């Protein structure tokens, strides 16, 4: 059975967790937090953009880096690497002529061609391109599996409010441990619509003022 929650429901659920479950970083890393499951003791690190428009989580043994605004031409971005090697990821938000939804962005097959054309590092080969439902009720994503530059790659992508959000995870095909972490990380990636004031401030290239995004 699939459990679907609205964004508001997700926020309420987190609010009910014991304080010991959440360990927030310092002010200069406020977008990164650590969650500890009180039942199993398992932990994960989560990152959220400064305008609260997208987030993702990684299991123990990964290091998340907040990238500066505008890094490599992206409006907002972050990256993460597996400490033991064998995998890395990047999450980005870009502004462009993407439309306001995946429907306006184009069919998944055409979107896959566009994605592969943007990949650096040598030959690419598409394995699959599908449309999948997100954790938030009514949300959808394009999910691509492909090879590029000798790496096994997965990209999860969404489009809304004139922005394209995507997480790309690259792994060493021979690293079985890294491969086992792929699906959980990809599933954790979500994007959310933001209010008009927040969107306008963020699209100018700066972190929105406190209280603008909710």
pLDDT band at 214 (very low <50, low <70, confident <90, very high): confident
pLDDT over 50 (residue 28): no
Instruction: Encode pLDDT of 39-70 as tens digits.
Output: 555 668 999 999 999 999 999 999 999 999 99
Q: Per-residue DSSP letters for 89-125?
A: EEEEEEESS--SSHHHH--HHHHHHHHHHT--SS-EE
pLDDT band at 34 (very low <50, low <70, confident <90, very high): low
pLDDT of res. 38:
53
| Domains defined for the chain, CATH in brackets | 7-203 (3.40.1000.10)
pLDDT of res. 33:
67
pLDDT of res. 209:
94
What are the strands, taking DSSP E only, across the chain? 22-24, 32-36, 43-48, 54-58, 62-66, 76-82, 87-95, 124-133, 140-148, 151-160, 163-171, 190-191
Between the CA atoms of 55, 196, 159 and 77, what dihedral angle is there, to the nearest 10 degrees? -40
Instruction: Encode pLDDT of 178-199 as tens digits.
Output: 999 999 999 999 999 999 999 9
Between the CA atoms of 11, 15, 21 and 26, what dihedral angle is there, to the nearest 10 degrees? 80
pLDDT of res. 44:
80
pTM equals 0.82
């Amino acid at each position: 059975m699939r459990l679907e929650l609205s964004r508001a429901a997700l926020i309420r659920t987190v609010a009910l967790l014991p304080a010991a479950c959440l360990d927030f970083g310092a002010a200069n890393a406020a977008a990164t937090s650590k969650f500890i499951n009180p039942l199993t003791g398992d932990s994960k690190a989560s990152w959220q953009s400064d305008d609260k428009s997208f987030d993702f989580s990684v299991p123990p043994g990964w290091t998340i880096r907040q990238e500066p605004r505008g890094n490599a031409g992206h409006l907002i971005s972050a990256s993460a690497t597996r400490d033991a090697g064998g995998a890395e990821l990047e999450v980005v938000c870009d502004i462009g002529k993407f439309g306001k939804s995946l429907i306006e962005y184009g069919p998944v097959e055409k979107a896959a061609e566009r994605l592969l054309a943007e990949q650096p590092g040598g030959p690419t080969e598409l394995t699959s391109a599908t449309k999948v439902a997100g954790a938030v009720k009514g949300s959808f994503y394009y999910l691509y599996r492909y090879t590029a530059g000798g790496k096994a790659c997965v990209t999860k992508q969404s489009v809304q409010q004139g922005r394209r959000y995507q997480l790309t995870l690259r792994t060493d095909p021979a690293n079985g441990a890294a491969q086992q972490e792929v699906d959980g990380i990809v599933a954790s990636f979500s994007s959310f619509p933001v209010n008009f004031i927040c969107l306008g401030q963020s699209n100018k290239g700066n972190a929105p003022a406190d209280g603008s995004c909710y």
